């Protein structure tokens, strides 16, 4: 066995773990690996001959193979498995060793683990990692949270493995405690929004009679413009893919039931707890939920009526209109995501750098996009920006797109095509820009049934009034 101690250790050799190990090793570090199912470790080592890898059958051997202070990244299923691995590690580690949880852990779990390990004299980093299999191998975006001093120790490895954009690594220290996993959670919420918006564009094109090849060409072209992004790029490629068995477009053969592992729902819950409006992300999560109720939908389709979903008569100019609807809705989704990050950052005193967060999302991660440069610029120009929609660049995008956006939503509604994320985004836009909403009547209703009081337009804010409303129960 190799007597040289490894620079880095990783536990959990599934898709993310394996690729991260190869990435770290490729930057000149020796890496020790351990997996609960030992066969996987052996297969991995056998599949990667000649590399600076040390496969370990036991956690004891794994820990002993690492240089001090030990740097151990856990890449196992989020939730209880992370706690189980931590518990197994604790008796084997020395003071100041570092555990990094790189999975999609809930940020409150990270805060709990951070405090628990600090109490035992161990250091902990909760790092969100995004980029999937390819990103993990070639360069992911990394969102580490934890003590700044621990980040400094990890910085050389993380900066060397992260994606690079304009020479800058797509990793920065996000903040203390659970800040890194929190920002990764919002990244995933935004990812849900982006994906759903693209799917709604696809459903409109499908209803207009575009072939999958034509749709692929549209997305490929969009990837050259303002919508350039990894998700638009892979959408074009996915639409081009043929099923080897039947020769048909593969997407046509994929069942329309979306899965989800929970980060979108966590984002929803956190927004609700903090009274932040994230309608686009909510719509995206709920669209996945409804899609998964396939049997119910098929049954309901026999009973519930609607117009014919045929947009062929509207095909002319549809591509440009849907482009604008998608672009504007995307601005809304990021506006909501950053509003939530800002709200939580202030509440937790994380001192977050919004421009820096947008900047590290430009490469490696699933939501990487040219568009993120404008978010960085907006927050660099005005770090106290109240709402992203009001930054000059985004104001222009929305003002220019809003007419087409409305036409697309109206067209979809008129033809019975569900566009929950497009329409929710437009409602957010229209609500936010409304000088006066209908909440005056709502306040009247609240005061009517519960004496909850209301403020008046003709009296100073902060004075509350109650009316003796008529009795309605006989």
Ligand X SMILES: O=C(CO)[C@H](O)[C@H](O)COP(=O)(O)O
Interatomic CA distance for residues 396 and 401, integer angstroms = 8
Tell me how far the alpha carbon of residue 164 is from its chain's centroid: 19
Binding ligand X by CB under 6 A: which of 69, 79, 81, 132?
132
Q: Which is nearer to ligand NDP, 43 or 159 (CB)?
A: 43
Contact call for residues 417 and 203 (beta carbons, < 8 A): yes
The SS3 of residue 265 is helix
324's tokens: 């604008």
The SS3 of residue 463 is coil
| Known catalytic residue at 51 | no
Q: Which is nearer to ligand NDP, 21 or 76 (CB)?
A: 76
Binding ligand X by CB under 6 A: which of 108, 168, 260, 402?
260
- By CB under 6 A, residue 229 contacts ligand X: no
- By CB under 6 A, residue 79 contacts ligand X: no
Task: Tell me which of ligand X, ligand NDP, none is bound by residue 12, counting a contact when its beta carbon lies within the kind-specific cut-off of 5 to 8 angstroms.
Answer: ligand NDP
The DSSP secondary-structure symbol of 90 reads: G
Interatomic CA distance for residues 365 and 357, integer angstroms = 12
- In sequence order, what E strands does 1-140 have? 8-11, 31-34, 53-56, 71-74, 98-101, 123-130
| Known catalytic residue at 184 | yes
Shortest Cβ 268–ligand NDP spacing (Å): 17
Which strand (E) or helix (H) includes residue 250? helix 250-253
Taking alpha carbons only, the member of 321, 303, 342, 314 closest to residue 422 is 321
- By CB under 6 A, residue 366 contacts ligand X: yes
Q: Which is nearer to ligand NDP, 35 or 329 (CB)?
A: 35
Interatomic CA distance for residues 311 and 200, integer angstroms = 14
- C-alpha distances in Å from residue 449, one per residue of 258, 437, 440, 444, 452: 41, 21, 15, 9, 8
Binding ligand X by CB under 6 A: which of 188, 291, 335, 359?
188
Task: Tell me which of ligand X, ligand NDP, none is bound by residue 188, counting a contact when its beta carbon lies within the kind-specific cut-off of 5 to 8 angstroms.
Answer: ligand X
Cis peptide before 69 (omega within 30 of 0): yes
Q: Which is nearer to ligand NDP, 139 or 249 (CB)?
A: 139
Residues in contact with ligand NDP by CB under 6 A are: 12-17, 35-37, 40, 75-78, 81, 84-85, 103-104, 129-130, 132
Shortest Cβ 294–ligand NDP spacing (Å): 24
According to DSSP, the residues that pair with 32 across neighbouring strands are 9, 54
C-beta nearest to ligand NDP: residue: 103
Which strand (E) or helix (H) includes residue 410? helix 392-414
Q: Which is nearer to ligand X, 136 or 352 (CB)?
A: 136
Interatomic CA distance for residues 10 and 31, integer angstroms = 7
Task: Tell me which of ligand NDP, ligand X, none is bound by residue 78, counting a contact when its beta carbon lies within the kind-specific cut-off of 5 to 8 angstroms.
Answer: ligand NDP
Shortest Cβ 275–ligand X spacing (Å): 24
Active-site residue, selected from the candidate residues 40, 71, 184, 330: 184
- By CB under 6 A, residue 30 contacts ligand X: no
Q: Which is nearer to ligand NDP, 81 or 418 (CB)?
A: 81
Contact call for residues 239 and 219 (beta carbons, < 8 A): yes
Task: Tell me which of ligand X, ligand NDP, none is bound by residue 191, counting a contact when its beta carbon lies within the kind-specific cut-off of 5 to 8 angstroms.
Answer: ligand X
Task: Tell me which of ligand X, ligand NDP, none is bound by residue 260, counting a contact when its beta carbon lies within the kind-specific cut-off of 5 to 8 angstroms.
Answer: ligand X
Q: Length of the chain, please?
A: 474
Binding ligand X by CB under 6 A: which of 30, 35, 41, 263?
263
Task: Tell me which of ligand X, ligand NDP, none is bound by residue 109, counting a contact when its beta carbon lies within the kind-specific cut-off of 5 to 8 angstroms.
Answer: none
Contact call for residues 145 and 110 (beta carbons, < 8 A): yes
Which residues sit at the interface with ligand X, rule CB under 6 A? 104, 130, 132, 188, 191, 260-261, 263-264, 366
What residues are annotated to the active site? Answer: 184, 191
């Amino acid at each position: 066995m190799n007597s040289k101690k490894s620079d880095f250790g990783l536990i959990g050799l599934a898709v993310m773990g394996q690729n991260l190990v190869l990435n770290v090793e490729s930057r000149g570090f020796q890496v020790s690996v351990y997996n609960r199912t030992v066969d996987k470790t052996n297969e991995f080592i056998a599949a990667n001959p000649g590399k600076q890898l040390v496969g370990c059958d036991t956690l004891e051997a794994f820990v002993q193979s690492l240089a001090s202070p030990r740097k151990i990244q856990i890449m196992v299923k989020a939730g209880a498995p992370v706690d189980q691995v931590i518990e197994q590690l604790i008796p084997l580690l020395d003071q100041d060793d570092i555990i990094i949880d790189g999975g999609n852990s809930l940020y409150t779990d990270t805060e709990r683990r951070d405090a628990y390990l600090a109490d035992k004299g161990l250091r902990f980093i909760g790092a969100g990692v995004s980029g999937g299999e390819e990103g993990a191998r070639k360069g992911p975006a990394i969102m580490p949270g934890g003590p700044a001093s621990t980040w400094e120790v990890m910085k050389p490895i993380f900066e060397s493995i992260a994606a690079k954009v304009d020479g800058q690594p797509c990793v920065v220290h996000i903040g203390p405690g659970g800040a890194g996993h929190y920002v990764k959670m919002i990244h995933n919420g935004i990812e849900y929004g982006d994906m759903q918006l693209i799917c709604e564009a696809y459903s409109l094109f499908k209803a207009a009679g575009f072939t999958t090849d034509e749709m692929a060409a549209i997305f490929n072209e969009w990837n050259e413009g303002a919508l350039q992004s990894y998700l638009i790029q892979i959408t074009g490629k996915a639409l081009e893919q043929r099923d080897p068995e039947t020769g048909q477009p593969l997407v046509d053969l994929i069942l329309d039931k979306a899965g989800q592992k929970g980060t979108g729902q966590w984002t929803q819950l956190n927004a609700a707890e903090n009274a932040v409006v994230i309608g686009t992300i909510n719509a995206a999560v709920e669209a996945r939920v409804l899609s998964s109720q396939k049997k119910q939908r098929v049954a309901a389709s026999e009973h519930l009526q609607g117009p014919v979903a045929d947009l062929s008569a509207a095909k002319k100019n549809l591509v440009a209109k849907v482009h604008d609807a998608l672009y504007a809705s995307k601005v809304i989704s990021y506006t909501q995501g950053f509003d939530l990050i800002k709200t939580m950052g202030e509440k937790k005193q994380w001192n977050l750098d919004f421009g820096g967060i947008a900047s590290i999302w430009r490469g490696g991660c699933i939501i990487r996009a040219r568009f993120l440069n404008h978010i960085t610029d907006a927050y660099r120009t005005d770090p106290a920006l109240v709402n992203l929609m009001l930054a000059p660049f985004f104001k222009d995008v929305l003002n220019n797109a809003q007419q087409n956006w409305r036409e697309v939503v109206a067209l979809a509604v008129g033809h019975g095509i569900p566009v929950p994320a497009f329409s929710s985004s437009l409602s957010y836009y229209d609500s936010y820009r409304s000088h006066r909403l209908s909440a005056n009547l709502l306040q009247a209703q609240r005061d009517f049934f519960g004496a909850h009081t209301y403020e008046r337009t003709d009296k100073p804010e902060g004075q509350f009034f109650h009316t003796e409303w008529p009795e309605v129960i006989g």
